Amino acid sequence: MYGYRLGAIGIVTTFFIIIFSTVLMPMVLFNPKASGRGNDYKVIPLAVGDAARGRQIYVREGCFYCHTQFTRIQDRGYGPLVKEGDYVYETPHQLGTARTGPDLTNEGGRFPSQWQKAHLISPRAMKPGSIMPSFSYLSERDMNDLVQYIQTLGNKRTVTAFVTPPDEYLPTTPQGRGLAARKNVDTASDAAANAGRGIYTQNCASCHGLEGLGNGPNAITLEKKPPNLSRDYYKQYPDEHWFYRISEGVTGTRMPRFQSILSEEQRWYLVAYLKTLPKDHEVTINNLDQLNVVEPTHLPVLTKQVYEPHHGKE
Amino acid sequence: MNSLAQTSLLERFLSAREGSASRNFFLSALWWSLWGMGAGMLAGTEFSMPDLIRGVPQLSMPHLRMWHVNAVAIGWLSMGYVGSMFHMVPTLCKTKLYSERLGNFTMWAWNILMIGAFCTLLNGNTEGREYAELGAVLDVIVVIGLVSVAFNIYMTIVQRKVKKLYVSLWYFLGSLFWFPLVYVIGQRTFVALPGLNDAIIGWFYGHNILGMWFTTVGVGMMYFLIPRFTKAPLYSHGLSMLGFWGIALFYAPTGTHHILQSPVPEWLKAIAVISSIFLLVPVLTVLTNFFMTMRGKWGQVATDLPLRFAVTSCMFYLVTCTQGPFQATRWINWYIHFTQWVVGHAHLALLGTFSFILTSSLYYCMPRLTGREWHSQGLIRAHYWLKFLGFMLMMTSLTTAGLVQAAGWALGYPVDQWSLSLHPYWFLRAISGFMIVTGQCLFAYNTFKTLYTPRATADATVKAREVKV
């Protein structure tokens, strides 16, 4: 009998140790202060709809079963990363568990309100191939409030720098610090730029052109044209952004992910060269004659050819 | 009204007949399983045909999903578990259930709760917390139900006729101690925590409804059923204790692995990942014990259908518990989080493992509760194959869909570029849902015929359990 009493005490103790470590300790130790980037729905002005009520509609309709509300380091195109202080007003939390649809962390302002409303009523009319259920049964007021809530999502998470690479290329993350520590190329030097020119000619010029004007011989065949890198817009690109573009390519275009082709050092040399391309006054390409031409290739003549099906009878 | 009529009314609704509480819990579980699994099937169909139903809020996919999760978790699995415990605990203690009346009262309370859940969840009256959707009143009824079940079982064990506690009883006792507490902590009905703290508690609960209730009671049922079916003694009682303490220690802190990539404290994530990996220890211990008990008896699976359900359940338990620690590590989680892979994993645990062991338990207990043989072995066989093949199809299609999605998210492609490629998997998943629900309907029909056809006279080989006290 004493043995079972010991066992019972064991169960109770184990359980309370676990409660202490995973429930009480986080509640005591983890108290993020409001970062100012999350929305306090109580103070949002009631311009079109009531965002606080819209949030209740969001909860009621179970949107969080398919849409998440936190961006991760690898999520491209969903806006800035979330921080712990962004969520202090989010009760009940709507972090979500699965993404059948896109992440909604920074959805506000991405589409016009009319678009959002039409999308709620008839998702496949606005986004062909979507499997979102139609929420046409919502009342006018519910719909307006829900759209208002969606439009507030992430609207305080403003972007400070216009062009930034993903966080794992920046020294704010361990990956970015590792990248910076391994970088042994002075991307501002002429020597590095000269070294990069060779790599550029071999790997990039066929599409981007010899001077980076987007006039490579392949450019004419591409649906998404390569950019004109002489535009002064590219002067704002930080090194890490060039590096990110080279490494991961451009989604939706034929630009490949060069991280599997070039070494990290080669990519930094390439960055050094690319930084020399933007000019104060861009060189415009508006004529087919300005396309780089490949010298005609002369195929070797086959001397003992007896059968040429494409040519028919001689 | 005379006292006879009152007595019969009391007897009718709060019967004190031995085994009635267990039987009623089983039948209620079966009833709610049809509604829960049916809702799951309909929700799955809406993935492949999103315009199938329009303008009916009660049948829109998120509402169906809320009801599906709660109906199979609180209705089918939990009620079935209580029914199993009401039969297994008295059997192991060689005594009667402490109070059949209290058991039947709990059964009614639980059914009222399920009716309430049906009416509220399908209308979207939710608290907006996954697995804790039920409203305040229903939460209170669940807690009343759990506490009265715990009281009933504890008192039964106090009055036991055998001195030594079999390992199943350890699991049942432990579960009934910690699950009501987990439930109370996890509901957050009367507190408003800031977002991320809400998420931490939410996933403590969301994972422990599985870890400290479905797993621990389910494993206890496996410990009971496998030696009974095979008529072989348990391989090792020492190993079984190791498994029990391992689960008790390592399961509870794992919840945060559901939000590994959100900005919650790193130390909490570390605890979650480490204890998730350590879970391999109790799982492999438990399964070694089962498989060694099965030594030399594997051939029985061919003829003994309830045993086949139990062994299938153990096999799925092995798969789900290898998958779990694997996907709780940061680098795997980085890739497959947010995808249908996880949905497949959840179904592997709740449908593949625990629904199968509950089915096995129902097939074992029902003849012993009612003294009737199963109406048709063929229907049991059809149920097994429909459920097994349906589940395998669901698992495969969801896992594959998950890998497609994972590649999409990891490479940062917009959803609309690859969502069309998921359609074949949604379609297969809808078919699998149809197979599983058909199997469950055959199960319900078989049970109905077993219980409500006039008794065949002579050749009944099992008897209702009667304990002379």
- The DSSP code sequence of B383-402 is HHHHHHHHHHHHHHHHHHHH
Q: Which residue of A has its CA nearest to B410?
A: A74
Q: Is there a contact between B383 and B442 (Cβ–Cβ < 8 Å)?
A: yes
Is A236 among the domain residues?
yes
Does the beta-carbon distance from B129 to A77 stay under 8 Å?
A: no
Is A278 among the domain residues?
yes
Query: The complex's ipTM?
Result: 0.91
Q: Is there a contact between B64 and B39 (Cβ–Cβ < 8 Å)?
A: yes
Encoded tokens for A36: 């100012």
With contacts defined as CB-CB under 8 Å, which chain B residues touch A4? 165
Q: Are residues A65 and A138 in the same domain?
A: yes
Q: What angle do CA B76, B80, B81 make, to 5 degrees?
A: 120
Q: Are residues A94 and A129 in the same domain?
A: yes
CA distance B131 to chain A (A): 11
Does the beta-carbon distance from B249 to A14 stay under 8 Å?
A: yes
Is A303 among the domain residues?
no
Q: Are residues A143 and A185 in the same domain?
A: no
How does pLDDT run across A71-127, given as a tens digit for each residue?
Answer: 887 887 787 888 888 999 998 999 998 999 999 998 888 888 899 999 999 999 988
Q: Are residues A194 and A261 in the same domain?
A: yes
Among residues A100, A111, A110, the alpha carbon closest in space to that of A133 is found at A100
Does the beta-carbon distance from A88 to B56 stay under 8 Å?
A: no
Among residues B352, B372, B228, the alpha carbon closest in space to that of B293 is found at B228
Is A197 among the domain residues?
yes
- pLDDT of amino acid B252: 87
Does the beta-carbon distance from A132 to B50 stay under 8 Å?
A: yes
Q: Is there a contact between B355 and B280 (Cβ–Cβ < 8 Å)?
A: no
Q: Are residues A101 and A201 in the same domain?
A: no
Q: Are residues A108 and A137 in the same domain?
A: yes
Encoded tokens for B446: 């078989």
Is A296 among the domain residues?
no
Q: Are residues A284 and A172 in the same domain?
A: yes
Q: Is there a contact between A127 and B371 (Cβ–Cβ < 8 Å)?
A: no
Q: Which residue of B has its CA nearest to A166?
A: B412
What phi and psi, each to the nearest 5 degrees, are found at residue B217? -70, -40
CATH number at residue A181: 1.10.760.10
Answer with the one of A152, A185, A217 that is the final residue of a domain.
A152
**Locate tokens 């074992």: which residue?**
B364
What phi and psi, each to the nearest 5 degrees, are found at residue B138? -65, -35
Helix, strand, or coil (residue B338): strand
Is A140 among the domain residues?
yes
Q: Are residues A141 and A184 in the same domain?
A: no
Give dist(CA A64, CA A100) in Å, integer: 10
How does pLDDT run across B65-94, given as a tens digit for each residue?
Answer: 999 999 999 999 999 999 999 999 999 999
Domain ranges of chain B: 18-164
- The alpha helices in B159-194, defined as continuous H runs, are 167-187
Helix, strand, or coil (residue A98): strand
Does the beta-carbon distance from A61 to B202 stay under 8 Å?
A: no
pLDDT in single tens digits along all 314 residues of chain A: 556 788 788 888 888 888 888 888 888 889 888 888 888 887 777 766 788 999 999 999 999 999 999 988 788 778 788 888 899 999 899 999 899 999 999 888 888 889 999 999 999 998 888 999 999 999 999 999 999 999 989 887 766 666 778 888 998 889 999 999 999 999 999 999 999 999 999 999 999 998 899 988 888 888 778 999 998 888 888 999 999 999 988 877 888 899 989 999 999 999 999 999 999 888 888 887 888 877 766 666 666 655 555 555 54
Domain residue limits at A128: 43-152
Q: Which residue of A has its CA nearest to B57?
A: A137
Is A60 among the domain residues?
yes
CA distance B271 to chain A (A): 8
Say if residue A92 is preceded by a cis peptide, omega within 30 of 0: yes
Choose, out of B60, B196, B266, B273, the residue to mutate when testing the contact with A (most A CBs < 10 Å).
B196
Encoded tokens for A131: 């499997």
- In Å, what is the CA distance from A314 to each residue of A300, A308, A309, A310? 20, 10, 11, 11
Q: Which residue of A has its CA nearest to B206?
A: A97
Does the beta-carbon distance from B197 to A26 stay under 8 Å?
A: yes
